[in-house]
Amino acid sequence: MSDTGKIVRNVVEYIISQIVEDEKSVKVDISSSDDENVAIEVRTAPSDMGRVIGKRGRVARAIRTVAQAAADEEGLQSTVEFID
């Protein structure tokens, strides 16, 4: 796989690791990427997923917004999925 989306993955991984209590359980992967799109999958410990999503999904929405800003630097569209 090429380096497409690597900046987005690194930004999302940093943000998630700052939010959770169990940093070792954080796993952020590029599930798919091409010249225009990048899809990121986020996995955390079940006890931390609530922190990452936030009330009414506000934290998750903010993470997606920052991920899109990072993707704009690479000329991409991004999606971030939070996997149980």
Instruction: Break the chain into its structural domains and give their ranges.
Output: 6-83
- Tracing tokens 């990048």 back to the chain, one arrives at 38
pTM of the predicted structure, to 2 decimals? 0.91
Range 6-83 classified under CATH 3.30.300.20: yes
Confidence of residue 1 (pLDDT cuts 50, 70, 90): very low
Confidence of residue 2 (pLDDT cuts 50, 70, 90): low
Q: How far is CA 44 from CA 36, 72, 74, in A?
A: 27, 26, 26
pLDDT digits (tens, 9 = 90+) for 9-61: 999 999 999 999 999 999 999 998 888 999 999 999 999 999 999 999 999 99
